[in-house]
Amino acid sequence: MCSSSLSVAKESFFLLAPLELLRSEDVKNITSIEELEKVKIDEQFIRYCIGEYKPAIITDNLFSFFRFTEKQAYLIIIDKRIDSTSELQRYNFYGLLDTYGKGKIVISSSTLTSEQIKKSINLTNVLINQGQTFILELFQLHTDYDESQDWWMHDVIYEIIVASYQDSNNDGIGDIQGLRQRLDYIQSLGVNTIWLTPIYTSPWKDYGYDISNFCDIDSRFGTLDDFRILIDDVHSRQMRIIIDFVPNHTSNEHPWFQAALHNDPKYIDYYIWHKGKNNGKELPTNWLGASGQRMWTFSSERNMYYLHQFLDCQPDLNFRNENVLDEIEKIFRFWLDLGIDGFRVDAVRHLIENDQYHDEPLSKDAKDMDPNIMYVAYDHTESADQSGSYELVQRWRKFLDKYAYENNRNYIVLITEAYTVDIKKVMRYFGNNREERGSDIPINFLITYYLDKDENEKHGLELDKVLSDWQSNLPEYAWSNWCLGSHDSHRITSRLPSKELIDGFYMLLLLQSGTALIYYGDEIGMCDRPFTLANSDEIVDITAFNYGEKYFDKMIRDRQRTPMQWTSQEANAGFTSSTVKPFLPLSDTWHELNVEQQQNALRSHLKLFQQLVKLRQQAPFYGGYQKKVIATKELYAFIRWLDTNIYLIVININKKGHDPIINDFTKLLKYQNKELFGEVIARSCNILDDSLIGKEGNQINLNNLILQSSEAIVLKLLTCPSNISFCQQ
């Protein structure tokens, strides 16, 4: 096959395509059709000239195509650029040919190292230098779990607020050493990637999202040396660590902003300033920020207004200043040099504003809310989702690709948070096409938005709508993702029609195709803790005070950020010492709802979560096909299949008190025979042990499947997908 000394003329690669289908522009800069007709195909190339031909990505700079049979497939890639100064180019070939997900170089026009020959290349991330030409032997996504996809595609990503996870030094706030103490637990979940909310130096007026030093650790959490040790610990377990990155703004205590206030010429334009209207007597625009304040605050030092899309202590950076862009890339590099595996970039839709500074119109729902404090009262046509924000994400993706290539690093993931219900705007963060890539994971908040609906709208048809909207709008070159909640949304268990439904939503999160993101504590079904304005000394989230009594309960975020509940055997749930007051009160449920209790229980949310994480590591869940079977107000069901395996997942959406749901899945799936059976693989905790579906291994007749309210089940069908007509449609 291939050796480090093998080098083949570039023209030969074109001969693997049918000459009669080639155009002169396809071979431009390399050769001509006439010259190719004179060339005889090299013997070592004949083995790759198999089966069918299919074009892949064809541009002025690239010609690529597949040769494939039912059992083998090759991707031939020819870079036609002749300018030696051309940049490293990334292409995404994923989804162009069946479920092929990775490949290895088997032949090249240039000499390769043994390391390059051995390395698997993910088809979402093929990096090509000027003039490179090679053949990839392709492998199906499902061939092997660990090798099937890049780590970020099949891992479960576990979000942690470090302050709320584990206190190691008894000061009432979680820290890096405390997190290290809990790595065994995190690993026991089957989670391989942890995502940390901000741990940078900060005045901590917004949970660390107000940053005064991007290149150091806040002393609340430890030191840079502590963090280096954490990275080593995580990597030694074959796990990965990503961190929140907050480029939109800094703290007003950041040296850059302080220098700008004092008219330092280097830093004045690091931020966005405006003289205001009517000689400074009026705000520049009517823009309302996402933290319940107008976006402009007057600076007496400069006699101008500065922009802040969030709190007035979080001035926005000016990304039209090339020096700011350079600073951001230095910060990226600092953390990458420490060994970070990726970034979750905060608030990307707010990065760029229209610099014409037009007012924004009220939304159609504004009549139902206070436009002086509620962000959603406006259509943010001027201050959100501007074209420049998408371009910045693409720039940063290129920077990370180049860093990984030059430093021989594994893939560096780029996750983005764009909190908007407009799905088309979210999809744009994936990038423009297969060449101009952006975010790997623009977080999918659609299930979160579904849970924000009124109680009478939280039914199966609405659920089907949000799931279908995401899947139908997903670009063919993009990888899906699913999320139940985060630090910015109330706990999922507190928003479901029934708390027992958490198990069914685990199945949606973990068994659909795509990356799964889970918020700490959701694996045990943690609930919100109520806060009141009367007990203001308990409140950490100062943004809540901007909303007044009417909106306070809806807008306060402390509810979902309470300390992790480890045990009922120790004070403060094992989060911190019994003699210490936690920085934020614990949820009242910690005595009966905690990790230890669920680890010791015969069945629990935690044990089901762990079971489903293991299940998703099997085909067809990480590389197979998916299709909705039925969606009604009461029920949602879908199937996953690949090769000889097919699974049915059924969720009863109803609250307690409703009649059981009975369905004939033999008919729904259009099975060829009269009876279809399924084996119980996993079931929700509220399914009684003595019911027909109450034990794993039980075989159930699917002609008459009965589910009680809020029950959910995973069944392996005792037949092949080829016998299910529904799979063939």
Pairing of strands 635-642, 121-122: unpaired
The residues assigned a catalytic role are 346, 417
Diameter of the chain by CA atoms?
87
Angstrom distance (rounded) from CA 666 to CA 704: 9
**What are the residues whose beta carbons fall under 8 Å from the beta carbon of 648, sequence distance 6 or more?**
629, 637, 638, 639, 665, 669, 678, 702, 714, 715, 717
Angstrom distance (rounded) from CA 382 to CA 476: 30
DSSP code string of 89-103: EEE--TTSSTTEEEE
| Nearest one of 337, 339, 342, 336 to 229, comparing CA atoms | 339
Answer yes or no: are the C-beta atoms of 487 and 522 closer than 8 Å: no
**What are the residues whose beta carbons fall under 8 Å from the beta carbon of 143, sequence distance 6 or more?**
none
Phi-psi region of 10 (alpha: psi -120 to 50; beta: other; left: phi over 0): alpha
Bridge partners of residue 213, in order along the sequence:
201
Q: How far, rounded to the nearest angstrom, does the alpha carbon of residue 340 sit from its chain's CA centroid? A: 16
Angstrom distance (rounded) from CA 218 to CA 212: 10
Angstrom distance (rounded) from CA 446 to CA 480: 12
Angstrom distance (rounded) from CA 591 to CA 447: 29
Angstrom distance (rounded) from CA 459 to CA 451: 10
How many alpha carbons lie under 13 Å from residue 314 in its C-beta half-sphere?
27
DSSP code string of 164-212: GT--SSSSSS--HHHHHHTHHHHHHTT--EEEEPP-EE---SSTT-S-S
Pairing of strands 515-519, 481-483: parallel
- Rounded to 5°, angle at Cα 204 from 201 and 205: 145
Rounded to 10 degrees, the C-alpha dihedral 420/424/429/434 comes to 160
Residue in this structure with the two tokens 């020819």, named with its chain if needed = 78
Cis peptide bond upstream of 721, omega within 30: no
| Nearest one of 506, 462, 452 to 632, comparing CA atoms | 462
Residue in this structure with the two tokens 């089957």, named with its chain if needed = 190
How far, CA to CA in Å, does 110 sit from each of 81, 118, 132, 189, 724? 15, 16, 7, 44, 48
Helix axis angle for 387-406 and 322-338, nearest 10°, is 40
Angstrom distance (rounded) from CA 49 to CA 74: 9
Bridge partners of residue 499, in order along the sequence:
none
Phi-psi region of 276 (alpha: psi -120 to 50; beta: other; left: phi over 0): left
Residue in this structure with the two tokens 């940390």, named with its chain if needed = 196
